[in-house]
Chain A
Amino acid sequence: MSYVKSLKCRECGQEYEKTAKYVCEFCFGPLEAAYDYDRIKKDITREKIASRPLNIWRYRELLPVEGTDYNTLQEGYTPLIKAERLGAELGMKNLYIKNDCANPTHSFKDRVVAVASTRALELGFDTLACASTGNLANAVAAYGARGGLKRYVFIPSNLEKGKVVGALVYDPNLIGVNGNYDDVNRLCSEIAGKYKWAFVNINMRPYYAEGSKTLGFETAEQLGWQAPDQVVVPIASGSLLTKIWKGTQEFIKVGLIADKKMRVFGAQAEGCSPVTTAFKAKTDTFRPVKPNTIAKSLAIGNPADGYYALKTIAESNGGAEMASDPEIVEGIKLLARTEGIFAETAGGVTIACLKKLAESGALDKDAVTVAYITGTGLKTQEAVADHLRSVSVIQPNLEAFEKTLLAPAGR
């Protein structure tokens, strides 16, 4: 049973049937799943949710699928960790890390793809596809395999090896496009218009995007059924940031948590920061850019949800920051050595921006703050590999070891 009434245009409100449709025919605005919140409020309780398995589907009333035959690898309900040591370094008393490395393909994309692929199967598609900066490619390749679907996965041809192997291993058709992600996405829009494939981030976008709300839901549940005061979220297309906000507002709307002012902060790389730049310039129109950053997963020069991300930041009285490539590497290392979490470059961006926002006074250092780590560093090893100490290689005897103990650490 679905609580989705229709797909509704975010700009003009025009409504459409719940098919694989993503653009308003009237005003070209994006379509969004529209829920019957009154009915959900009657049916949903904390106890009901808490009794369900520890994955995203515990929030099924707020997800846009018809039935319960989920295409799942048990994604979601990832650890929310109190970051005492990182907090101490940043002067923050109530800092938490939401660790989405702990997902089946090791990024938060498993959430959105589980939802999109479930809906794609409900709608009768036989092929799953996407345009991706890497993590989405891995998730689509894996979840498509899990669901018995054919897969066409499109990426820029220069992605990190871990992300390429992490897609190829599931044996999809992997197409590397000579260009940046925006070129890939534009091509995929044309392909989606021609072939009857379920492109998770294009024609299935209204369903796909809803999966990210579960990060907001889980955060609230794991904090004891309350919203955090501040969240720091990396921005690629801007979808994740807007959906964490939407999910939290929905929990308030259906009576699961108390109304609370939650401030939303966006994090981008300096080499691709259209949203942060617009925020700092206090404009609501961003200028698309040509990305140039090691944070390839965030390298979207024309973010589809950029406008809505800016709106959410403004509405929530939040903010945005950007980090240089060296700062991104330091961010990865800082999180790893203080909390034992190895984040990919997007995580480095988030931690580096968290640090800047704390230092500048934009963040309240005592408030409950959650930083979202969206994927594992094992997939972007190239970014840090040359900035770490080296292995101390010794002969297998005690003397050799003790000599090393006395020597300065290799760099």
Chain B
Amino acid sequence: MAVKVLIPTPLRNLTKNEAEVMAEGATISELIDYLGKNYAGLKDRLCDDSGKIRRFVNIYLNEEDIRFLQGEATAVKAGDQISIVPAIAGGSF
């Protein structure tokens, strides 16, 4: 199913300046793959060479940091809202 993904300002140049995009996937991991296929260069910014989400990229599922859910394996369902937020030095929660 398709869910809403909020894109932070520094990455909008890769999503045609869209602040919100729709993406498909049953898990966060699948969503990221979908975003990578549809927006060139975006996956590289979110994940390192080994495919792990970069340390200073925070991903929230309905306001919860996915690190405290099931990480990349966190299940996504219709109506969920995903936010991608750069972890700028401190105070970002």
Contact = CB atoms under 8 A, between A and B. Distances in A.
A175 interface: no
17 contacts: A11-B54, A11-B56, A23-B89, A28-B56, A29-B54, A29-B55, A181-B91, A186-B91, A186-B92, A189-B88, A189-B89, A201-B89, A202-B89, A287-B68, A302-B90, A302-B93, A307-B55
Contact of A22 (B45, B55, B57, B89): B89
A255 B71 CA distance: 43
Contact of A182 (B54, B86, B91): B91
Interface string A124-142: 0000000100000000000
A185 interface: yes
Given A23-B86, A28-B86, A287-B68, A302 B54 contact: no
9 smallest A-B Cβ distances: which pairs?
A185-B91, A304-B90, A186-B91, A28-B86, A182-B91, A304-B89, A28-B56, A288-B93, A185-B90
A205 B89 contact: yes
Nearest to A284: B55
B21 interface: no
Interface in A180-224: 181-186, 189, 201-202, 205
Interface of B: 10, 45, 48, 54-57, 67-68, 86-93
A302 B55 contact: no
Contacts, number: 62
Contacts of B48: 12, 27
A189 B92 CA distance: 10
Contacts of B68: 287
Given A25-B10, A285-B67, A30 B56 contact: yes
A72 B69 CA distance: 48
A64 interface: no
Given A189-B88, A189-B89, A11 B45 contact: no
Contacts of B67: 285
Contacts of A99: none
Contacts of A185: 89-91
A29 B91 contact: no
Nearest to B54: A27
Interface string A277-292: 0000000010110000
Contacts of B89: 22-23, 30, 185, 189, 201-202, 205, 304
A372 to B, nearest CB: 21
Contacts of A25: 10
A303 B87 contact: no
Interface in A249-301: 285, 287-288, 300-301
A303 B54 contact: no
From B10, B45, B54, B90, name the one whose CB has the most chain A CB atoms within 10 angstroms: B90
B93 A28 contact: no
Nearest to B86: A28
A236 to B, nearest CB: 10
A300 B92 CA distance: 12
A237 interface: yes
Contacts of A184: 91
A131 B85 CA distance: 21
From B57, B88, B89, B92, name the one whose CB has the most chain A CB atoms within 10 angstroms: B89
